[in-house]
Structure 1
Amino acid sequence: MIAGLSATPFSISGGGTRSLLSAADGAEQLSTRGLNGIVAYNPAEMTMTARAGTPLEKVEAALAENRQMLAFEPVDLRGVLGSSGIPTIGGVFATNASGPRRFVAGAARDSLLGVRFVNGKGEIVKAGGRVMKNVTGLDLAKLLAGSHGSLALLTEVTFRVLPMPETAVTIVISGLNDAEATAAMATAMALPVEVSGAAHLPESVRGRFAGGALPDGAATVLRLEGLAASVSVRAQKLADAMAGFGAVSQCDAGLTQRLWREIRDAAPYADGTSRPLWRVSVAPTAGQQLVAALRLEAGVDAFYDWQGGLVWLRMESDPEAALLRRYIKAVGGGHATLLRARPEVLSTTEIFQPQTDAVTALQTAVKASFDPHGLFRAPGGFIAQ
C-alpha cells in the first residue's frame, strides 16, 4: 500500500442523484463536489473542459449562452429515484448517462475527448486531449465512461458539444400497438428526414406525458430538429409517410421540448414508489417482443425509446430478475440495469447484467490495473455500459 493512501474502500459520489443505487454498496462516500468550475470553453472549437464536480446545470447554462448543447441529452434520474442531489458533469460521464438522441448522436462516452483522474495507486493520470485529432489516450478516456467510479476518481473531463437546433417538432402517430409502432419507427428511420428521436408510448403511459396533451390512444413519437425551414419540409414528408400507419398529428416546439425531456427522464415512473424499475437495452426490433413475453408471466408496464431498443420497464411487485434476463437472452441478448427497488431487494439482486466469463476476466484484469488495492467500489461492480 502506498504511504498515506487509505485502505478503506469507498464509492465516489458526484451530486448524490443516484443515492438509492449507492445505498446498495455500503462503502464510505467520497464526494467530488469540491472539484467545481469550467476550466476552458472554446465555442468556436465546440469543446469544453470542466472539473468533475461542476453542476451539470452550470455547464448547460454556459453552453446555452452560445446556443450549444450536449448532444447526448444526459438523463436525469432524480425523479424516478426520489433523490434531491445536483447532477454533475463528472457523474454524467462516469455513468454514461445518455438520453433519447443517443441512437443517432452517440452516447456520452462518444462526446468525451479527454480526462484527468486519480487511479487506485494514487497516481494522477491525464488521457486524451481537447480536440478530436489528438487521439492519444482517447480510448482510455472512453473506458472510464460508464465505469460508475469503480476504476478511478475522475477529476476533470474534456468533451465536445454541438450547436443547438433552431427549432424542433414531433410527429405523433396515434393508436398503434407495440409491434406496429416498431415497424413505423423502422420505416421513419429509413427515410432521409433525419429523425433525432423515436419513441413509443403505449396507452398505459401516454396520458402521463406532456400533461396529457397527446391525442388519445398509444402515441408513437418522432422528433425532427434543425433550421425552421428545413424542419417544416421534413415534417411534411414524414407525416405523409406515416399516414399509412395511423392518424398523424404534430407537436410544436414547446410541447416537443417538454415531451422529450419527460421521455429522457422516464417521467411516468417518477411516482414516489419503490416499485422495481429496469432500464433495458436490446435490439430495436426486440423491445416489443421482450415486453410481450414478460406480460404473459409478470405484471409489467413499459414504454420504448431509441426506436424501440431502450425499454423503461416497471414491475408491479418483484424485480423478476431471472425471468427478465432469461427473456433478454431469448430475444437475442442485451443488458438490463435495475435502477430502483426496495433497499433489501437491491442488496440481493444483480443490478447490472451478468457478463460472460470472458468479459468478466477482462474486467477483472482492467480493475487490477487501475485499482490493485480494490479501493473503488460501485453498485454491482464494474461494467462498461
Structure 2
Amino acid sequence: MIVHFEPASEEGIATVVRAMAADKASLAVIGGNTRSGLGNPVRADRVLSTRRLSGIVSYNPAEMTITALAGTPLREIGEALAENRQMLAFEPMDHRPIFASSGEPTIGGVFAANVSGPRRYVAGAARDSLLGVRFVNGEGEAIKAGGRVMKNVTGLDLVKLLAGSHGTLGILTEVTFRVLPLPPASETIVVSGLNDAEAAAVMAEAMAQTTEVSGAAHLPESVRGRFLDGNLPDGAVTVLRLEGLEASVAIRAEKLTKAVGRFGAVTRLDASQTARLWTEIRDVKPYADGTRKPLWRASVAPSLGHQLVAALRLQTGVDAFYDWQGGLVWLRMEADPEAELVRRYIKVLGGGHATLVRADDSYRQAVSSFEPQPLPVAQLSERVRAKFDPHRIFNPGRMAAIS
C-alpha cells in the first residue's frame, strides 16, 4: 500500500481530510499498517498514515496516566512503562505474525481497533483504559473528548465510541489512557489431558476460586506443540495464569493446584515460561504460519466455546484453541471461511460475534469480515457515521467495524 500523505501534525491531518471531503475522495487511514489484511478489500483513493504524528506528550507514573500522539510506536510506549514497572493492562495483540506484515504497531491503531489480549476478561478491553482522545472528523475538524481522569458519562461517550471504530468515524491524533503496575511475580498452572468440554469446566472452577486468575486458556493437542517450542506436557493442556506479589502468587498457586488437581495432572511454569507462553497465546502463534487460511476470532459465552468448535468439526475442517476462559475462540479453517456456518452456529448457541480476521482477498471480497449488525443497530451506526463522516471518506473497507 503506497502512503500518499504522512502529516506530522493534527492540523496537517485536518487539511488533508478537508481536501478529501471537497473532492469526495475516499481515504484509507493507517498507523503502522500492521493490520492491512483486516476488513473487506475496498481500494481507497488516497492513503494517510499517522506514523509521523509520534511522541509521548506527558507521562505521570504516580498518577498512572499517559498521553501520546496516535502514531507513537507501541514499542516506545512499552519501553517507557517498563522503566517504571508499569504496563498496559489489556495486553494488546501484535497482528504482524498472523498477517506476515511489517511496520510498527502504533498506540492509535491499538485503540482504533480496540486490540485486547488474554487479560481482557479480567482487566477490560483497550477502550476501558482510554480516558481521552483528540481526533479529526470527516469535516476536517479537530475535536477533543474526555480527559485525564475516569468520569461517568451521560449521552454519547465519544471516547468509547472512537475505540473500536477502526478509523471509520475519525482519525485519532492523541490518546490519553491509564496504566497499571507490572506484577512482580507470575506463574502458570498447567492441567494436562483434558478434552475441550472438561477444560471449560476446569476454567470455570478456577475462576470461581479466590485465586485471582488473570489468564485462562485451553490449548488442544492439535496446537499444544506450537507453544513454548513444544515444551509443554503431552496432550491437550489447560493453562491458568496467576500474577501479583511473589508470596501471594505462591500461596494462590498452591490453592489453585489443589482445586484443579482432581481434574488431571498438574505442572507449573515459572515467570519466564509464563511470560513467553502468554505472549504466544496473545499473538495466536499456532496460526502465524505464513498461510492465508481463513482465521476467525469468535466471541461466545465461555461455557459454549467448545460446543461451537464441536459443531463446526462435524461440518468442516477446523482447528481451534480457546482464550478468555473459553469465551474467545480462534478458529482456523482448512478451506473456505464458512461464514454462514460459523455465524449460524453462534446464533444457535445464544449469540456472540465472529470476525474474519484473515483470508484470501477473494474470500474477503465476498464475505463480510465483521459481524453483520441487527437492523436497528445498523441504522443507528449509520446515523452516527453520518454525523462524524458525512462525506463517507474514511476507511471504506471497514464500514461495518463499529464495535
- Correspondent of 1:302 among 293, 306, 320: 320
Quote the Cα distance in structure 1 between the aligned partners of 2:53 and 2:19.
24
- Correspondent of 2:37 among 20, 28, 50: 20
2:224 aligns with 206
**CA displacement at 1:136 relative to structure 2:** 8.2
1:150 aligns with 168
Contact 1:351–1:379 (CA under 8 A) maintained in structure 2: no
2:102 aligns with 84
| Paired residue type of 2:352 | G
Deviates more, 1:340-349 or 1:218-227: 340-349
- Correspondent of 1:235 among 253, 262, 267: 253
2:131 aligns with 113
- Correspondent of 1:50 among 65, 68, 81: 68
**CA displacement at 1:134 relative to structure 2:** 7.9
Contact 1:281–1:334 (CA under 8 A) maintained in structure 2: yes
Please state whether the residue corresponding to 2:366 is helix, strand or coil: coil
Give the 3 Å change call, closer, same or farther, for CA 191–8 of structure 1 in structure 2.
same
| Paired residue type of 1:345 | Y
Match status 1:372 vs 2:372: no
| Paired residue type of 1:193 | T
| Paired residue type of 2:170 | A
- For each residue in 1:131-178, what CA deviation from the matched residue of structure 2 results, as whole angstroms up to 9, or x when unmatched? 124858982111000000000010000000000000110000000000
Please state whether the residue corresponding to 1:286 is helix, strand or coil: helix
Give the 3 Å change call, closer, same or farther, for CA 49–328 of structure 1 in structure 2.
same
Alignment of 1:221-370 (within 5 A): 221-370=239-388
Give the 3 Å change call, closer, same or farther, for CA 216–3 of structure 1 in structure 2.
closer
Give the 3 Å change call, closer, same or farther, for CA 230–138 of structure 1 in structure 2.
farther
2:4 aligns with none
Please state whether the residue corresponding to 1:358 is helix, strand or coil: helix
**CA displacement at 1:19 relative to structure 2:** 1.6
Quote the Cα distance in structure 2 between the aligned partners of 1:220 and 1:151.
40
Give the 3 Å change call, closer, same or farther, for CA 110–375 of structure 1 in structure 2.
same
CA RMSD of the aligned region, Å?
1.5
- Correspondent of 1:159 among 172, 177, 199: 177
**CA displacement at 1:3 relative to structure 2:** 7.1
| Paired residue type of 2:25 | T
Quote the Cα distance in structure 1 between the aligned partners of 2:53 and 2:24.
23
Please state whether the residue corresponding to 1:364 is helix, strand or coil: helix
Contact 2:72–2:107 (CA under 8 A) maintained in structure 1: yes
Quote the Cα distance in structure 2 between the aligned partners of 1:358 and 1:20.
29
Please state whether the residue corresponding to 2:302 is helix, strand or coil: coil
- For each residue in 1:52-100, what CA deviation from the matched residue of structure 2 results, as whole angstroms up to 9, or x when unmatched? 0000000010000000000000011110111012100000000000000
Contact 1:75–1:98 (CA under 8 A) maintained in structure 2: yes
Contact 2:296–2:331 (CA under 8 A) maintained in structure 1: yes
Give the 3 Å change call, closer, same or farther, for CA 315–2 of structure 1 in structure 2.
closer
| Paired residue type of 2:134 | R
Contact 1:149–1:378 (CA under 8 A) maintained in structure 2: no
Gaps spanning 5+ residues in structure 1: where? none
Please state whether the residue corresponding to 1:126 is helix, strand or coil: strand
| Paired residue type of 2:150 | M
Match status 1:219 vs 2:242: no
Match status 1:67 vs 2:85: yes
What TM-score do the two structures reach when normalised by structure 1?
A: 0.97
Please state whether the residue corresponding to 1:87 is helix, strand or coil: coil
Contact 2:20–2:27 (CA under 8 A) maintained in structure 1: no
Contact 1:52–1:156 (CA under 8 A) maintained in structure 2: yes
- For each residue in 1:20-52, what CA deviation from the matched residue of structure 2 results, as whole angstroms up to 9, or x when unmatched? 226712113210101100000000000000000
Contact 2:26–2:396 (CA under 8 A) maintained in structure 1: no
Give the 3 Å change call, closer, same or farther, for CA 34–137 of structure 1 in structure 2.
farther
Quote the Cα distance in structure 1 between the aligned partners of 2:116 and 2:368.
22
Match status 1:7 vs 2:24: yes
Quote the Cα distance in structure 2 between the aligned partners of 1:75 and 1:379.
21
2:11 aligns with none
- For each residue in 1:256-310, what CA deviation from the matched residue of structure 2 results, as whole angstroms up to 9, or x when unmatched? 0000000001000000001000011111011000000000000000000000000
**CA displacement at 1:383 relative to structure 2:** 2.8
| Paired residue type of 1:275 | K
Alignment identity in percent?
Answer: 67
Deviates more, 1:147-156 or 1:129-138: 129-138
**CA displacement at 1:380 relative to structure 2:** 3.7
Quote the Cα distance in structure 1 between the aligned partners of 2:156 and 2:401.
19
